Amino acid sequence: MPGPTPPAPAAIDVVTQVVYYLSLSIPLGIGLTIGALAAPESQGGLVARQVRSLSVPAAIVVLVGIALQLRAVANLSVMTLAPLVALMLAVCGLVAMRWSQSRALPLGIAAVAVAAAVIPEIPIKFLNLSRAMSNVLTAVHVLGAITWVGGLVVLAAAGIAGRRNRTGDGVAADWVQIWERFSQVAMIAVGALVVSGSWLAWSHVGTPGQLLTTAYGRALAVKLVLVVLLLCAGAYNIRVLLPRIRALQSAGDTRGLFHLAAQHFPAVVLAESLVAVGVLTVVPFLRGSARAQAGSPAAVSFDLGTFGVGVVLIAAVAAAMWAGNRRSVTPLAPSTPVP
């Protein structure tokens, strides 16, 4: 017999969840960009300086996320307060970063954001292997999502804010390095999302038909469509834009390189970041389980057979990520018009 369908979340609950996930994503994106992706400011890193200028607005976003989360929490406990305390540390770090050029501080902020995301998935006590694996994979899924979303949002904001910067070669070279490095980080995040998301989807959805006949399934279907759009955009970046950037760089076309790497690519990433925020907006609607709503049996417990399937899935995803990230054998010529 089908189970009850949970009520749709109120608008304030959706806003709370979206802002909270952005509160995790943005500090991670800023810390990752300044600490690992961009050239250091001490070596003339202009993009790192642009991203650092976002630190105070980011701190405000995180403060709003903390306030909304405190409003939404019914019962305060150590496990509910600990992530918010971690985010307060991130706020302090973001404010301090506005006047410090240290690369250790941004990396520390990124680590605090990771801790805030993982803490809610730490079980107070061990119940069973299935529950433990669900917690681990949920943590992996959240980390993959906030890494991907945080990088997109921060790089889009920095790129759009700096599009009028006409300093030329230095900015273009810096952006080339960032896009190359972020594509590698995004690949790892996508792999983590695919593996963990497949397990979680199987746990909550018993048949393809439940994607259309249950509230949970329909919300998940919308999320999957948005994720596929992001994957297509990422494939376009890796298979089209990055080869063009390499070709322009090899040919010494600094004008075309600046236009593509420092102006066009950020606009593409802005569109991706808007879709990513759309994914976050769908998450609050994933309440309950499609299996329960359809009255079908729960997923089988985690065992060695399930573990074996998981290993095969991880291997398949790793192979797909490796193949998708290989450089184009015939990159587009430098004279090819930039769209």
- Kindly state the percentage of the chain with pLDDT values over 70: 84
Given pLDDT bands bounded at 50, 70 and 90, which one contains residue 127?
Answer: low
Spatial neighbors of 85 by CB under 8 A, at least 6 apart, are none
Helices (H), 237-303: 242-251, 254-257, 265-282, 290-294
The residue among 258 and 168 whose pLDDT is bigger is 258
CA distance 10 to 269: 30
Q: What is the dihedral sign for C-alpha 110, 112, 117, 119?
A: positive
Residue 49 token pair: 């300086």
CA distance 248 to 240: 12
Residue 127 token pair: 């119940």
Residue 4 falls within a domain, yes or no? no
Given pLDDT bands bounded at 50, 70 and 90, which one contains residue 126?
Answer: low
Residue 33 falls within a domain, yes or no? yes
pLDDT at 334: 40
pLDDT at 95: 94
Q: What domain range is 135 assigned to? A: 11-324
pLDDT at 167: 53
Residue 331 falls within a domain, yes or no? no
CA distance 107 to 40: 13
248-262 burial by CB neighbour count: b if 16+ within 10 A, else e? bbeeeeeebbbebbb
φ/ψ of 286, rounded to 5, equals -85, 75
Residue 107 token pair: 């990396």
**String of DSSP letters for 123-189:** -SS---HHHHHHHHHHHHHHHHHHHHHHHHHHHHHHHHHTTT---THHHHHHHHHHHHHHHHHHHHH
Could you report how far apart the first and last alpha carbons of the chain are, in Å?
54
Residue type at 47 in one-letter notation = V
Q: Angle at the Cα of 114 (from 97 to 142), degrees rounded to 5?
A: 135
CB 332 within 8 A of CB 236: no
CB 29 within 8 A of CB 151: yes
Residue 45 falls within a domain, yes or no? yes
Residue 237 falls within a domain, yes or no? yes
Number of domains in the chain: 1
Give the pLDDT confidence of 13-45 residue by residue, as tens digits.
899 999 999 999 999 999 999 999 988 887 777
Spatial neighbors of 91 by CB under 8 A, at least 6 apart, are 59, 62, 63, 66
pLDDT at 295: 81
Residue 152 falls within a domain, yes or no? yes
CB-side neighbour CA atoms (13 Å) of 46? 17
CB 269 within 8 A of CB 159: yes
- Name the least confident of 103-112, 144-153, 190-199, 221-230: 190-199
Residue 273 falls within a domain, yes or no? yes
Give the pLDDT confidence of 38-92 residue by residue, as tens digits.
888 877 778 888 899 999 999 999 999 999 998 887 777 777 899 999 999 999 9
The residue among 302 and 181 whose pLDDT is bigger is 181
Assess whether pLDDT exceeds 70 at residue 332: no
CB 172 within 8 A of CB 254: yes
| Mean of all residue pLDDT scores within the chain | 83
Give the pLDDT confidence of 233-289 residue by residue, as tens digits.
888 888 888 888 888 888 877 788 888 888 888 888 999 999 999 999 999 888 888
Give the pLDDT confidence of 288-314 residue by residue, as tens digits.
888 888 887 776 666 556 566 666 766
pLDDT at 302: 60
pTM over 0.85: yes
Residue 86 falls within a domain, yes or no? yes
10 Å CB burial of residue 305 (0-12, 13-18, 19+) is: exposed
Assess whether pLDDT exceeds 50 at residue 338: no
10 Å CB burial of residue 13 (0-12, 13-18, 19+) is: middle
